[in-house]
C-alpha cells in the first residue's frame, strides 16, 4: 500500500467515530456440532442462532466411523431422538437444516478408498432409510444433506478420491432428492499453489464428477492464515481469499457456492496459544467482505463455541465476540466505536504506528510480525483513547500476536481505566489476565474482557495498559459500547 493512500485511509477512519452497521455482511447460518449441545439445550440453541439473525444450520455429522478403515462401527453424534427434537425446533422457527451424515475421515486417512468408502456408502443408505421410516426426511425444515468428509481439493494431485463423493451423493439421492453439500477448504494453497483460475477449474471438475450441488468453501483464514490482504509471501504476491472466491463463483455459479467463514484465531500448531479462540471482529469483517459478493450464503465454523451462549464448552471470549458481531455487523444500530489516541509508551521506530493503526480496520498478519500492520512496544504498552462524546464502554479488546522467536508474547494482563473528563481522576474498571490454559505459543489472540464492563460509563478517555515479559505487538483495538 502506498503511503499517500494510507494517509487518506487514516483520515477516513478517524472521522468515522460511530461506524455504520454492516447488514450486508451478516451470517446466514452456521455449522453445528451436536455432541456438546445436549438435546435438552436445543431450544436455547435455536433461540440463540435466531437472535443472531441466522436461518440455516449445517449439522456437521450424525454418525462417525470409529475404529479405523476396516471397521463397520459407527457412533451416533445425533441419534434419531435427537434429530427428531432438532427438526421439531427447526420447524417451529423456520430454520433450514442440512443434515451431515457419515463422518469417516477422522477414523480413516484413506476414507475415500475401500473398505471404508463402501462401508460409508452402505451405512448412508441404511441411515437415511431409517430416518425416512420415521417421517423425518419430509420435515419442512430439512433442506438437504452434507457429506462431512472434507475434500482436500487444494492438495490432492489426483482425482482418486472423487468417486467416493460421487458414490455417497448417489447413495443420498437414491433415498432423497434434496441438495447435497460438501465443504472444501483454501488451506494448503501456500504449499500447493494453485492460481484462482486453476482452483476454479478444479472445483468445477469436482462438481461435474460428483454431482454435488453446493460447495461450501472454507476461507481458511483461521486454520491456515489464508491471505485476506494483498501481501507478499516468499517474495511473490499471494492471491487473496477474495480472488479465490471470485474465481470459484465464476466456475460454480453463485448458487453453487457458499462460504464458511472461520471466526477463530490462527496458530501454526492447531489451537496452540490463542489459536482457535474467538477472532477479532475487524478481521471477521474483512473475511466477510472477501466472500460476500461471490456466494449465495455465508456460514461460519462454528457459532456455538466462538460466539454462542449455549454450548457448555464455548470459549470464555465468546461473549465478547458475540457482542462485537452484533455491535458491528448484525445489530440494528452500531455499537462499535473508535476514537483518537496517544501512546504513553512509544512504539519502537522499527514497528511504528504511522497513524491511527489501532482503528484502521486492518489486523496484522500472524505469520509475519514485520507486517507494517503490527505496532510494537518493548515492555509494558500503555495507550490513552479519547472519544468524541461520552461513551458507556462494555467491551475492550486488543488484537495481538505471539512470536516467541522474536521475543513477542501474549499479554499477561490488560488493565483498563476510564475517566469522564480529560483532566479528571482515573477509575479502575477492569484488570484482565490471560485466561488460564493459554500458553505462550505462536498465535494471534484477541485480549479483552470476558464479561461486560459495568462501571465504564460516561467515558471520555480510556486507558489500556498491556503487560508481558517481552515485546507487545498490537494491530487493532476493538471497543463496543452499550
Ligand atoms: Ca490496524
* More confident: 15 or 313: 313
> Which band of pLDDT confidence, cut at 50, 70 and 90, is reported for residue 3?
very low
pLDDT tens string 92-146: 999 999 999 999 999 999 999 999 999 999 999 999 999 999 999 999 999 999 9
How far does residue 186's CA lie from ligand 1's centre (Å)? 24
- Predicted confidence at residue 235, as pLDDT, reads 75
> Which band of pLDDT confidence, cut at 50, 70 and 90, is reported for residue 66?
very high
Q: What is the mean pLDDT of the chain?
A: 94
How far does residue 364's CA lie from ligand 1's centre (Å)? 7
**Res 20 pLDDT > 80:** no
**Res 287 pLDDT > 90:** yes
**Res 7 pLDDT > 70:** no
What residues pair up with 336 in beta bridges, in sequence order? 480
How far does residue 361's CA lie from ligand 1's centre (Å)? 5
How far does residue 12's CA lie from ligand 1's centre (Å)? 13
Pick the CATH number of 336-481 from 3.40.190.10, 2.60.120.1190, 3.30.1330.30, 3.30.930.10: 2.60.120.1190
How far does residue 376's CA lie from ligand 1's centre (Å)? 12
pLDDT tens string 38-49: 999 999 999 999
> Which band of pLDDT confidence, cut at 50, 70 and 90, is reported for residue 236?
confident
Residues of the chain with CATH 2.60.120.1190: 336-481
Taking the CA atoms of 145, 148, 154 and 155 in sequence, report the sign of the dihedral they define.
negative
How far does residue 470's CA lie from ligand 1's centre (Å)? 21
- Predicted confidence at residue 414, as pLDDT, reads 98
Q: Show the CA angle centred on residue 395, arms to residues 394 and 398, nearest 5°.
A: 155
How far does residue 63's CA lie from ligand 1's centre (Å)? 43
CATH of domain 22-330: 3.20.20.80
How far does residue 380's CA lie from ligand 1's centre (Å)? 19
- Predicted confidence at residue 23, as pLDDT, reads 85
All 3 cell numbers of residue 274? 490463542
All 3 cell numbers of residue 233? 509471501
How far does residue 398's CA lie from ligand 1's centre (Å)? 10
Asked if 252 contacts 204 with a C-beta cutoff of 8 angstroms, the reply is: yes
Residue with cell 477512519: 13
How far does residue 254's CA lie from ligand 1's centre (Å)? 31
**Res 86 pLDDT > 90:** yes
How far does residue 94's CA lie from ligand 1's centre (Å)? 39
All 3 cell numbers of residue 39? 438435546
How far does residue 59's CA lie from ligand 1's centre (Å)? 35
Mean pLDDT of the region 376-404: 98
How far does residue 149's CA lie from ligand 1's centre (Å)? 36
How far does residue 48's CA lie from ligand 1's centre (Å)? 30
Which three-class secondary structure string do you get for 4-48? HHHHHHHHHHHHCCECCCCHHHCCCEEEECHHHCCHHHHHHHHHH
Asked if 449 contacts 415 with a C-beta cutoff of 8 angstroms, the reply is: no
Strand 96-100 with 142-146, pairing: parallel
How far does residue 340's CA lie from ligand 1's centre (Å)? 13
How far does residue 473's CA lie from ligand 1's centre (Å)? 11
How far does residue 399's CA lie from ligand 1's centre (Å)? 9
CA atoms within 13 A on the CB side of 303: 32
pLDDT tens string 198-212: 999 999 999 999 999
All 3 cell numbers of residue 283? 478481521
How far does residue 373's CA lie from ligand 1's centre (Å)? 6
Amino acid at each position: 500500500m502506498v503511503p499517500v493512500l494510507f494517509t487518506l485511509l487514516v483520515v477516513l477512519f478517524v472521522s468515522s467515530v460511530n461506524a455504520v452497521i454492516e447488514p450486508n455482511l451478516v451470517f446466514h447460518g452456521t455449522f453445528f456440532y451436536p455432541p456438546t449441545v445436549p438435546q435438552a439445550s436445543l431450544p436455547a440453541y435455536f433461540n440463540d442462532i435466531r437472535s443472531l439473525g441466522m436461518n440455516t444450520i449445517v449439522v456437521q455429522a450424525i454418525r462417525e466411523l470409529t475404529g479405523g478403515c476396516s471397521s463397520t462401527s459407527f457412533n451416533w453424534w445425533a441419534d434419531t431422538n435427537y434429530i427428531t427434537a432438532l427438526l421439531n425446533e427447526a420447524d417451529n422457527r423456520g430454520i433450514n437444516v442440512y443434515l451431515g451424515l457419515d463422518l469417516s475421515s477422522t477414523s480413516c486417512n484413506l476414507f475415500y478408498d475401500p473398505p471404508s468408502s463402501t462401508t460409508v456408502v452402505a451405512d448412508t443408505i441404511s441411515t437415511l432409510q431409517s430416518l425416512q421410516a420415521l417421517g423425518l426426511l419430509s420435515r419442512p425444515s430439512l433442506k438437504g444433506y452434507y457429506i462431512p468428509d472434507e475434500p482436500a481439493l487444494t492438495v490432492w494431485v489426483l482425482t482418486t478420491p472423487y468417486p467416493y463423493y460421487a458414490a455417497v451423493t448417489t447413495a443420498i439421492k437414491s433415498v432423497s432428492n434434496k441438495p447435497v453439500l460438501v465443504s472444501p477448504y483454501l488451506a494448503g494453497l501456500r504449499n500447493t499453489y494453485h492460481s484462482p483460475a486453476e482452483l476454479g477449474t478444479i472445483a468445477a471438475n469436482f462438481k461435474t464428477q460428483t454431482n454435488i450441488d453446493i460447495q461450501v468453501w472454507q476461507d481458511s483464514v483461521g486454520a491456515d492464515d489464508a491471505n485476506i490482504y494483498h501481501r507478499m509471501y516468499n517474495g511473490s504476491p499471494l492471491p487473496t481469499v477474495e480472488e479465490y472466491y471470485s474465481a470459484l463463483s465464476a466456475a460454480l455459479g453463485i448458487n453453487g457456492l457458499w462460504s464458511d467463514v472461520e471466526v477463530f484465531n490462527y496458530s501454526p500448531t492447531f489451537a496452540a496459544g490463542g489459536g482457535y479462540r474467538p477472532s477479532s471482529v475487524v478481521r471477521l469483517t474483512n473475511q466477510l467482505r472477501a466472500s460476500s459478493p461471490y456466494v449465495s450464503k455465508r456460514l461460519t465454523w462454528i457459532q456455538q463455541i466462538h460466539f454462542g451462549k449455549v454450548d457448555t464448552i464455548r470459549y470464555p471470549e465468546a461473549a465478547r465476540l458475540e457482542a462485537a458481531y452484533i455491535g458491528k455487523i448484525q445489530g440494528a444500530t452500531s455499537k462499535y466505536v473508535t476514537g483518537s489516541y496517544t501512546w504513553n509508551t512509544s512504539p519502537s521506530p522499527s514497528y511504528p504506528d504511522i497513524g491511527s493503526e489501532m482503528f484502521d480496520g486492518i489486523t496484522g498478519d500472524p505469520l509475519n510480525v514485520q507486517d507494517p500492520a503490527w505496532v510494537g512496544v518493548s515492555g509494558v504498552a500503555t495507550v490513552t483513547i479519547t472519544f468524541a462524546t461520552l461513551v458507556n464502554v462494555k467491551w475492550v479488546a486488543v488484537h495481538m500476536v505471539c512470536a516467541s522467536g522474536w521475543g513477542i508474547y501474549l499479554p499477561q494482563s490488560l488493565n483498563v481505566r476510564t475517566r469522564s473528563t480529560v483532566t479528571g481522576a482515573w477509575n479502575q474498571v477492569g484488570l484482565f489476565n490471560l485466561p488460564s490454559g493459554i500458553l505462550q505459543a505462536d498465535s494471534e489472540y484477541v485480549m479483552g474482557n470476558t464479561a461486560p464492563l459495568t462501571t465504564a460509563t460516561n467515558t471520555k478517555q480510556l486507558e489500556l495498559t498491556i503487560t508481558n515479559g517481552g515485546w507487545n505487538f498490537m494491530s487493532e483495538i476493538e471497543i463496543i459500547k452499550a
